[in-house]
Chain A
Amino acid sequence: MTETKPLIEFKDVTFWYGSTEDQPALKNINLTIHEGDYVALLGLNGAGKTTLQLCINGVIPNSIIGEFQGEVIVDGNDTFETPVREMAKIVGMVFDNPEFQLSQMSVGEEIALGMESLGYSYPDMVKTIDEVLEIVGLTGLIDRSPFGLSGGQQQRLSIASALAMQPKILVMDEPTSNVDPIGKEEIFQVAYQLNRERNMTVIMAEHEVEVMAQYANLVVVMHEGEIVLQGTPEDVFSNVELIQNLGLRMPQVAAFGHDVEKLGLIDLGGQYPVKLDQAVETYGPLFNKKAG
């Protein structure tokens, strides 16, 4: 792969929500994300995933009170010096609790709300709304009240709202926590398509490791405010003991590989398949002894 230029750089970032006497929420974060990366942020509750994401759109340090050290550069902007409203044109945010983001209007108006500052003409706005509703699978619900939608439908709506701003970077904080499996698959697919086709950079915090292993090219594991592992899914999930000691889960097919390797039934050299197709290839022969 050719080397692309860094789009997001964290340089020695430390952040405290309260006093510097307490444990910081982020500790010496150094992280480089390139344009077109699909990043999975993994870690236990409280590990610092959301805090790290809030540094990308500049809400930290600009809108949240705390003690901030270091530097975050996003698309050439030092977030410390750039107004949050400028950052909002580059970074779209999707949170895990859409209810708090919803207003009193219809689905269509909800999406239009964020677009107003972008100066769309009315026909362009309508067209974009239709497009994003189709992307998230909510076509036909444009006139419904967001409050009458199911939890998962609300979550898709907030993704549609973020997409309507046509950001370069999409930050998603557990965007599928209420979504059904197909909805999840769709949302990960949507993010993947935006990533592949429009080179959108995606930074996703997510507990479901199987899907992250499927889609992300960079996995970042956080623990108590620090980055403890980063690399490709295959590399990260070869650190089985560390992952398990941190209290995290391995993708099921990788955990399975580790278990059968320990029993001496297969030799994988400590590198386990993390994606389903790889797993079928690797493990199939184990189950075909008789026929073969």
Chain B
Amino acid sequence: MEPIIKVENLWHIYPTGNVTAVRDVSLEINPGEIVGIIGQNGSGKTTLVKHFIGLLKPTKGVVYVNGKDTAPLKVQQVAANVGYVYQNPNHQLFARTVRDELAFGPGNLGIPEDEIEARVDQAVKFFGLEDFLELHPYRISFPLRKLVGMASVYTMRPDVFILDEPTTGQDNITTQTVYRLIKRLRDEGSTVLCVAHDMILLAEVVDRMLVMRGGDLIMDGTPREVFSNHEIMSSTHLTPPQITTLSLKIQEKYQSFNKTVLSIDEMVSEVQKSSQS
């Protein structure tokens, strides 16, 4: 299978402050993969993914999307294939109403009116935006604005969907909406990249995790592999979900138990197994 994103020896150095934000990163992402990107603040996650949409150009190295070098492309040219939901929705939203915001992207892609309308309606239902359609995006709360950011990318149906910290400021109910979005994108065959500090979200939805540290890509593995790698976890100071940590601590204490769980349900079935044996 041809990778949908291919990164070769990517470097990004910000001229201001001469910060090396991404250092010699190479990776491939296949169509349909659900990938989490984790790392401390300032480790280069946002900088990395901004190259996939052409918002940043490599200082050195090449980024291919669908086999095309993104360096000479304009953001609009990449946007047909890759959608980016900004970490900060204030940098993303500019239309006068939520409805216009949702219709803008597909309009720009030349999608027919009735199809745009159908997509907007569907997104409104999915994200629960019915009451806010005619409001200015700045008149609604930050968490809702983030949902609008997601919805306005969703209406473009990009092949690759990049979410930068989608659950920031979200409560449990809207976090569930993000889960459902990622699951739906998976079912629709989209490729999803999710930058997140929310380990509970990642543990439950991603197949693969990329770990960044100080601009380096230091690990590429399944959530179970990443969470049970003591060296990686302690050197990046990342904390697995509480239930995963519980399973790791119990492993330390009782050698007879050796499962690293990713969810409460998995932990419950471990208890059931051990009570039946």
**Chain A residues proximal to chain B, CB less than 8 Å:** 43-46, 96-97, 99, 144-145, 148-153, 174, 177-185, 207, 210, 247-249, 251-253, 255-256, 259-260, 263, 265-266, 276, 279-280, 283-284, 286-291
- Tell me the nearest residue of chain A to B268, going by C-beta: A259
Task: Give per-residue flags for B108-141: 1 if the beta carbon is below 8 A from chain A beta carbons, else 0.
Answer: 0000000000000000000000000000000001
Q: Among the listed A152, A260, A279, which residue makes an inter-chain contact with B41, where contact means beta carbons less than 8 Å apart?
A: A152
Closest 4 pairs (CB-CB, A-B): A152-B41, A182-B237, A252-B243, A150-B42
Q: Are A179 and B197 in contact (CB under 8 A)?
A: yes
Closest Cβ of chain A to B12, distance in Å, is 14
Q: Are B243 and A256 in contact (CB under 8 A)?
A: yes
A168 vs B246: C-alpha distance when bound (angstroms): 36
Q: Among the listed B17, B88, B242, which residue makes an inter-chain contact with A151, where contact means beta carbons less than 8 Å apart?
A: B88
Collect the chain A residues with CB atoms within 8 Å of residue B253's CB: 280, 284, 288
Q: Are A247 and B173 in contact (CB under 8 A)?
A: yes
A151 vs B43: C-alpha distance when bound (angstroms): 11
A276 touching B197 in the complex, CB below 8 Å, given contacts A249-B172, A263-B272, A288-B256: no
Collect the chain A residues with CB atoms within 8 Å of residue B236's CB: 182
Closest Cβ of chain B to A211, distance in Å, is 9
A151 vs B197: C-alpha distance when bound (angstroms): 12
Q: Are B243 and A289 in contact (CB under 8 A)?
A: no
Known contacts A178-B197, A260-B271, A283-B250, then 16 further A-B pairs from the complex at CB < 8 Å, ordered by chain A residue: A43-B171, A45-B170, A148-B16, A152-B42, A153-B41, A180-B41, A180-B237, A181-B238, A182-B236, A183-B41, A247-B171, A256-B246, A265-B271, A279-B246, A280-B246, A287-B250
Q: Are A183 and B254 in contact (CB under 8 A)?
A: no
Interface set, chain B 137-155, CB cutoff 8 A to A: 141-144
Closest Cβ of chain A to B99, distance in Å, is 21
Q: Are B274 and A290 in contact (CB under 8 A)?
A: yes
- Tell me the nearest residue of chain B to A264, going by C-beta: B275
Q: Are A183 and B40 in contact (CB under 8 A)?
A: yes
* Interface: B71 (CB within 8 A): no
Collect the chain A residues with CB atoms within 8 Å of residue B16's CB: 145, 148
Q: Among the listed A44, A99, A145, A251, which residue makes an inter-chain contact with B173, where contact means beta carbons less than 8 Å apart?
A: A44
A45 vs B256: C-alpha distance when bound (angstroms): 43
Q: Are B246 and A289 in contact (CB under 8 A)?
A: no
* Interface: B200 (CB within 8 A): yes
* Interface: B27 (CB within 8 A): no
Size range of the interface on B?
35 or more
Q: Are A153 and B275 in contact (CB under 8 A)?
A: no
Q: Are B257 and A178 in contact (CB under 8 A)?
A: no
- Tell me the nearest residue of chain A to B168, going by C-beta: A177
- Tell me the nearest residue of chain B to A144, going by C-beta: B17
Task: Give per-residue flags for B161-181: 1 if the beta carbon is below 8 A from chain A beta carbons, else 0.
Answer: 000010011111111000000
Closest Cβ of chain B to A228, distance in Å, is 15
A99 vs B144: C-alpha distance when bound (angstroms): 18
A45 touching B264 in the complex, CB below 8 Å, given contacts A182-B238, A286-B275: no
A252 touching B168 in the complex, CB below 8 Å, given contacts A99-B88, A280-B253: no
Interface set, chain B 247-266, CB cutoff 8 A to A: 249-250, 253-257, 264
**Chain B residues proximal to chain A, CB less than 8 Å:** 14, 16-17, 19, 39-43, 46, 87-88, 90, 141-144, 165, 168-175, 197, 199-200, 236-239, 241-243, 245-246, 249-250, 253-257, 264, 267-268, 270-272, 274-275, 277
Q: Are B272 and A148 in contact (CB under 8 A)?
A: no
12 contacts between A and B (CB under 8 A): A45-B170, A149-B42, A153-B41, A180-B43, A180-B238, A207-B171, A207-B175, A253-B246, A256-B243, A256-B267, A288-B253, A291-B254
- Tell me the nearest residue of chain A to B263, going by C-beta: A252
Collect the chain A residues with CB atoms within 8 Å of residue B144's CB: 45
Collect the chain B residues with CB atoms within 8 Å of residue A251's CB: 242
Q: Are B246 and A45 in contact (CB under 8 A)?
A: no
Collect the chain A residues with CB atoms within 8 Å of residue B40's CB: 152, 180, 182-183
Collect the chain B residues with CB atoms within 8 Å of residue A253's CB: 242-243, 246
A77 vs B124: C-alpha distance when bound (angstroms): 46
Q: Are B271 and A286 in contact (CB under 8 A)?
A: yes
Closest Cβ of chain B to A116, distance in Å, is 26
Q: Are B172 and A207 in contact (CB under 8 A)?
A: yes
Q: Are B242 and A247 in contact (CB under 8 A)?
A: no
Q: Are A256 and B141 in contact (CB under 8 A)?
A: no
A234 vs B9: C-alpha distance when bound (angstroms): 50
Q: Among the listed A145, A153, A247, A284, which residue makes an inter-chain contact with B172, where contact means beta carbons less than 8 Å apart?
A: A247
